[in-house]
């Protein structure tokens, strides 16, 4: 009888705690509020920046901020046009470049907290390359992939409650699950998003970069470069859960006309 009650409760959670991903329209689990996860993200972002050497007042650092600002404006325009501006409540965009020539990585936490590592810049090559990565990473935050992963982790570990309550029940486990769900960098574990999430971020990110004025035709070229790195050496950890390069290149080419349509709409 107890198992049936638990199963019914889980089913109820799954039925009523759902959200919709912008652009793709996919339904996702949402047991954790944006308010909760953004607050936790802000705290962890501050800790990480305090432990890192930032490339402030450099041309590369300024480029990250410039691209970030353009992508953020594109996101806000898209969400406003779709009547989804409320989904950005609590977002306070911030873009930083971390001096680390070994970690080929970049990420965006819930709430718009972004970090790039200097090791990924040679692969980006230029501002457009940065925009490709920036669009992808910001798309993870807009699609609430971190919140979705955290919601799934809470259920898997029997913590069917709010994030704050889960912290009270089992703080060490909940903190570990939060870090894994956010995947905020080398210091606390690499991205834990599924391949489907990564593909979804490719799709959404391509639209955002196009709306920001960057050429979506360059996105497959970026992944060709990443593919070359993977052949020459062990794939960067950033790619460990990403779709195969050939598949994502094919998908990106398929989505380019859609992204260009959004770009033309913005120009008009």
**Would you name the residues annotated as active-site residues?**
137
Judge whether 23 and 203 are in contact, CB under 8 Å.
yes
The contacts of residue 241 (CB under 8 Å, 6+ apart) are: 191, 192, 193, 194, 195, 198
* Cβ neighbour number for residue 251 with a 10 Å cutoff: 18
User: Using CB atoms within 10 A of its CB, is residue 225 exposed (0-12), middle (13-18) or buried (19+)?
Assistant: middle
Structure tokens that stand for 257 in this block: 């006309």
Q: How many CA atoms lie within 13 A of 2 on its CB side?
A: 0
């Amino acid at each position: 009888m107890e198992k049936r009650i638990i199963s019914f409760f889980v089913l109820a959670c799954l039925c009523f705690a759902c959200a919709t991903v912008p652009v793709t329209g996919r339904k996702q689990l949402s047991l954790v509020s944006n308010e909760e996860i953004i607050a936790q993200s802000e705290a962890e972002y501050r800790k990480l920046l305090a432990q890192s050497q930032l490339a402030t007042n450099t041309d590369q650092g300024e480029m990250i901020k410039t691209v970030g600002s353009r992508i953020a404006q594109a996101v806000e325009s898209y969400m406003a046009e779709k009547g989804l501006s409320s989904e950005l409540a609590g977002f306070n965009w911030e873009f930083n470049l971390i001096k680390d020539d070994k970690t080929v990585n970049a990420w965006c936490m819930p709430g718009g907290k972004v970090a790039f590592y200097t090791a990924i810049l040679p692969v980006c090559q230029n501002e457009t390359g940065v925009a490709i990565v920036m669009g992808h990473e910001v798309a993870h935050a807009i699609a609430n992939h971190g919140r979705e992963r955290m919601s799934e982790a809470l259920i898997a570990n029997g913590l069917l409650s709010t994030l704050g309550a889960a912290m009270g029940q089992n703080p060490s486990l909940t903190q570990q699950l939060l870090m894994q769900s956010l995947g905020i960098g080398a210091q606390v574990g690499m991205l834990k998003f599924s391949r489907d999430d990564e593909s979804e971020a490719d799709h959404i990110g391509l639209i955002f970069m196009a709306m920001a004025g960057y050429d979506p035709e360059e996105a497959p070229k970026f992944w060709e470069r990443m593919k070359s790195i993977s052949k020459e050496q062990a794939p960067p950890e950033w790619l460990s859960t990403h779709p195969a390069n050939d598949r994502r290149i094919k998908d990106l080419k398929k989505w380019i006309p859609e992204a260009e349509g959004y770009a033309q709409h913005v120009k008009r």
